Structure 1
């Protein structure tokens, strides 16, 4: 099963909220979600990098929440729909933002054109907040889901540290999703590991 098939399978198995079918239709037919990179030059900077990243975050979040400490000490108990929504859709803000282009680089002393992705956001509404905005155009999110998606970049984003701290303290799923996102980005998808 490839990344697109796995994403669709998980989505259809776990996400059943009113409007979720319309959101999936949007991803399939009106966006580049399944072909887009996750970034221009860091993690997942290749075709299908975005969907692969979202699946990696899903796997990391499932593992994090399965820990006995997460359940018994932190009381993190979330249903499968919530887990799937926040992990699979946290970076929906990146759809239709990357354009294929070329740039010149020196290869063996000679300038050569190589392909790369340019970031061209036609809806510059932030990062996490843009994901929340897009999702809620199709279906409702709980407050904890919205905060988790909004602050999934944690302290590595450009957010006010007080907002991140508030989110982590009041909505534990926010911390768990941020941890899963960092694990996927820096361990599973890093080219230096």
Structure 2
């Protein structure tokens, strides 16, 4: 059922996003990427929504959300001092993997998605993404920090203060994309409905 005023992706658009993401990941020459690709292909990553009602709450919304962060991330990276710029591979990993924790998180169908109450992403969103990626791909410290704090200060409070605002500030001092990516994610999540 399509609700008035709500956008949805067609099956062709969902498939095109999947193909593009897989092409981008296949370009990365890092150990474990092929295994990571097999993992997300066997999951609902490409067909899942990005949320139950807040943003991109339709089939394929999760992959679309991740893709929508890549170009703004590349642009922001290009504006940094050359010594601060991250590689294309890092940018792809950050944008496309930051919300992999949502794989398997939702049940139901369009207009009636629910979060599985016992899914680990309910308690450790960013950390779960890092854990899932690290099973296959070794992350750099910058990649880890950017994924860990992609929800800004919300990242600190989500885990019972496992990470503090001071930890976030130290991560921002290590690399400016920590703060920039959180802003990009917030814009895509909250203002691009």
| Structure 2 unmatched runs, 5+ | 1-12, 159-163
| TM-score computed with the length of structure 2 as normaliser | 0.81
| Runs of 4+ more than 4 Å apart | none
1:148 aligns with: 146
- Secondary structure of the corresponding residue to residue 53 of structure 2: coil
Deviation at 1:179, TM superposition (A): 2.2
* Corresponding residue number in structure 2 for 1:117: 113
Of the two, which has the highest radius of gyration?
A: 1
Per the alignment, residue 33 of structure 2 pairs with 20
Question: Match of 1:167?
Answer: 171
Look up the SS of the partner of 1:16 in the other structure. Answer: coil
Question: By percentage of residues, which structure has more strand?
Answer: 1
SS at match of 1:37: coil
Contact 1:55 1:87 in 2 (8 A): yes
SS, match of residue 166 in structure 2: helix
- What is the CA-CA distance between 1:82 and the residue it aligns to? 0.6
1:95 corresponds to 2:107: no
* TM-score, scaled to structure 1: 0.81
Q: After TM superposition, give the deviation of residue 146 of structure 1 in Å.
A: 0.7
Q: Is the CA contact (8 Å cut-off) linking 2:153 and 2:168 kept in structure 1?
A: yes
Shift of 1:123: 2.6
- How far does residue 77 in structure 1 lie from its aligned partner after superposition? 0.9
Q: Distance in 2 between matches of 1:43 and 1:115?
A: 12
Q: Deviations over 1:10-67 (max 9, x none)?
A: 1112x221111000100001x1000001111111111100000000111210122223
Q: How many residues align?
A: 171
Q: Does 1:53 find its partner at 2:50? A: no
Match of 1:7 in 2: 21
1:145-175 Cα offsets, whole Å, 9 max, x none, are: 1111111111244353222222112232312
CA distance in 1, matches of 2:147, 2:97: 8
Does 48-57 or 120-129 show the bigger shift? 120-129
Equivalent position of 1:106 in the other structure: none
How many Å separate the matches in 1 of 2:111 and 2:169?
Answer: 39
